[in-house]
């Protein structure tokens, strides 16, 4: 496997020298009012209260209805806000027509569904949003109903402040991003003529530990592909009193040990190199910070690579990773297993296909007894796409307007997947750029007691008040 280099315009990552790129903006950018902040929080809490989880009782269509009602109240014609039922879920597409129909639209992307949450596991009802000590708790607080509510509110507020876009603005929210992503793919196909996608589901900032002081902000310019592979061993079985030398569970276990100890070759591209260089100063451990810098300089240097890969927060940025996530086997306590299965979840570094990774897994396992099959559902392998300097400059200006000029801006390649992959696959540049900041010890996306700090509301609105006009005038 080869080391990849993303084709990036020199101005795209050279933030200090980006002043040569002209970005238009209103002469007076609105300042969010207390009422606008309250409206954003109100929409977020209303959305969190709706259980938009895949399966029986999925109410994603109700989240879409909340957003539609808010947009219509904000000046959108009902015909311009389209909610489409798609099986048990729904999508929302809202259009704010620009003055120049020849320009391709800007898409503001997000999703309305959330992952499951059990009341018995949480300190509070995950679908009973509550604010305590300046913190909003509930499923979707970080992924991504709060983000989506702030984004929608910002667009409504811009309209109320009299902004008139030259380029059309399309809000496009999917309804199954957390699972099969069928609506994600459908929306991308519907909007494949877009100029650019800004996805609020990804990126984001980090506060200094124990404070609300912003340190650095990430935007995602790419992401790794998601893949699931099934390992399966079958056997005639028999009575447990008559053991066979070819036990299906043992053979599967041997394969899992090989996969678990294998490390894919290190890789690097412009995004991951820039991330290691710019994130290193914020690492408290001097040895780890030095390893991050060394990895950026030479990803094949074994010593720093070992240090970086030992950190779960960093290993995903060093190349493809594969890990066992599910296991089953046997049918009775006193019978030899006739079948044993395991799931291997991989996050594939850009530039490799799922077929290539499956072939590599077969080589690592080295046994014809173990059947390896691709069982991925709802994901694709997006291409590596170039970065656009107009976005990079506008995003940096917006985050500095929101949080201050001392906030470091760090480009990032996400280890997880999002709706952006489907736009990128169709040739539409897509960047994940949440303006929301969290503390390192409060990152509970998909986890227990998910939360977000309300200090984010005003800066997040400010971010969009700057970014959206810059990209649509």
Structural domain spans, the chain: 13-224+381-472, 225-374
- Domain 13-224+381-472: top CATH class: alpha beta
The rounded distance, in Å, linking the Cα atoms of 82 and 296 is 46
Of the candidates 436, 451, 430, the residue with the CA atom closest to the CA atom of residue 184: 430
H-run or E-run covering 39:
helix 34-48
H-run or E-run covering 344:
strand 339-348
Q: Tokens 């300089």 identify what position?
A: 297
- Looking at residue 399, the DSSP 8-state letter turns out to be H
Helices (H) and strands (E) in the chain, counts: 13, 19
By the 8 A CB rule, do 461 and 32 touch?
A: yes
How would you classify the pairing of strands 339-348 and 89-96? unpaired
- Contacts (Cβ under 8 Å, ≥6 apart) of 88: 54, 55, 58, 60
How many C-beta atoms surround the C-beta of residue 248 within 10 A?
24
For residue 12, the model assigns a pLDDT of: 43
The rounded distance, in Å, linking the Cα atoms of 233 and 236 is 11
The rounded distance, in Å, linking the Cα atoms of 82 and 84 is 6
For residue 338, the model assigns a pLDDT of: 98
The rounded distance, in Å, linking the Cα atoms of 191 and 194 is 6
For residue 17, the model assigns a pLDDT of: 36
Given 3.20.20.70, 3.40.50.300, 3.30.70.360, 3.40.50.2300, which CATH number is that of 225-374?
3.30.70.360
Q: What is the pLDDT along the chain (473 residues), one digit of tens a residue?
A: 323 323 333 334 443 333 334 444 445 899 999 999 999 999 999 999 999 999 999 999 999 999 999 999 999 999 999 999 999 999 999 999 999 999 999 999 999 999 999 999 999 999 999 999 999 999 999 999 999 999 999 999 999 999 999 999 999 999 999 999 999 999 999 999 999 999 999 999 999 999 999 999 999 999 999 999 999 999 999 999 999 999 999 999 999 999 999 999 999 999 999 999 999 999 999 999 999 999 999 999 999 999 999 999 899 999 999 999 999 999 999 999 999 999 999 999 999 999 999 999 999 999 999 999 999 988 888 877 678 999 999 999 999 999 999 999 999 999 888 999 999 999 999 999 999 999 987 876 666 789 999 999 999 999 999 999 999 99
Whether the bond into 90 is cis, omega within 30 of 0? no
The pTM score is 0.88
Burial (CB count within 10 angstroms: exposed 0-12, middle 13-18, buried 19+), residue 17: exposed
Can 13-224+381-472 and 225-374 be said to share one CATH topology? Answer: no
Contacts of 365-371 with C-beta under 8 Å, sequence gap 24+, read 365/231, 365/255, 365/258, 365/259, 366/258, 367/251, 367/254, 367/255, 369/233, 369/246, 369/251, 370/231, 370/232, 370/233, 370/251, 370/252, 370/255, 371/230, 371/231, 371/232, 371/233, 371/234
The rounded distance, in Å, linking the Cα atoms of 447 and 205 is 18
């Amino acid at each position: 496997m080869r080391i990849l280099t993303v084709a990036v315009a020199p101005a795209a990552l050279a933030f200090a020298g980006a002043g040569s790129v002209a970005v238009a903006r209103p002469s007076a950018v609105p300042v969010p009012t207390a009422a606008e902040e309250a409206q954003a929080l109100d929409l977020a809490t209303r959305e969190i209260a709706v259980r938009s989880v895949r399966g029986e009782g999925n109410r994603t269509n109700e989240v879409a209805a909340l957003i539609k009602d808010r947009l219509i109240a904000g000046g959108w014609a009902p015909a311009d806000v389209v909610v489409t039922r798609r099986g048990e879920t729904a999508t929302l597409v809202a259009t704010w027509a620009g003055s120049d129909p020849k320009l391709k639209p800007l898409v503001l992307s997000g999703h309305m569904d959330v992952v499951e949450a059990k009341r018995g596991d949480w300190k509070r009802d995950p679908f009973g949003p509550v604010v305590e000590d300046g913190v909003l708790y509930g499923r979707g607080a970080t992924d991504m109903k709060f983000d989506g509510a702030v984004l929608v509110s910002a667009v409504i507020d811009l309209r109320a402040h009299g902004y008139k876009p030259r380029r059309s603005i399309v809000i496009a929210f999917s309804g199954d991003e957390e699972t099969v992503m069928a609506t994600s793919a459908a929306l991308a196909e519907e909007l494949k003529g877009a100029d650019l996608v800004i996805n609020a589901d990804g990126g984001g900032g980090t506060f200094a530990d124990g404070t609300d002081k912003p340190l650095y902000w990430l935007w995602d310019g790419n992401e790794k592909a998601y893949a699931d592979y099934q390992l399966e061993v079958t056997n005639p079985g028999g009575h447990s009193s008559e053991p066979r030398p070819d036990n299906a569970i043992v053979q599967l276990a041997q394969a899992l040990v090989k996969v678990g100890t294998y490390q894919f070759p290190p890789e690097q591209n412009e995004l991951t190199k820039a991330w290691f260089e710019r994130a290193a100063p914020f690492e408290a451990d001097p040895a780890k910070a030095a390893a991050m810098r060394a990895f950026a300089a030479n990803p094949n240097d074994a010593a720093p690579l070992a240090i970086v890969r030992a950190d779960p927060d960093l290993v995903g940025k060093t190349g493809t990773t594969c890990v066992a996530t599910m296991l089953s086997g046997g049918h009775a306590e006193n019978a030899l297993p006739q079948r044993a299965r395991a799931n291997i979840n991989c996050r594939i570094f850009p530039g490799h296909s799922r077929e290539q990774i499956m072939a590599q897994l077969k080589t690592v396992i080295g046994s014809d007894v173990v059947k390896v099959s691709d069982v991925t559902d709802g994901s694709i392998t997006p291409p590596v796409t170039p970065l656009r300097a107009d976005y990079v400059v506008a995003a940096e200006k917006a985050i500095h307007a929101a949080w201050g000029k001392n906030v470091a801006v760090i480009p990032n390649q996400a280890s997880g997947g999002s709706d952006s992959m489907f736009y990128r696959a169709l040739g539409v540049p897509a960047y994940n750029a949440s303006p929301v900041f969290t503390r390192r010890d409060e990152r509970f996306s998909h986890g227990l007691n998910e939360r977000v700090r309300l200090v984010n509301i005003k800066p997040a609105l400010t971010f969009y008040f700057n970014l959206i006009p810059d990209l649509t005038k």
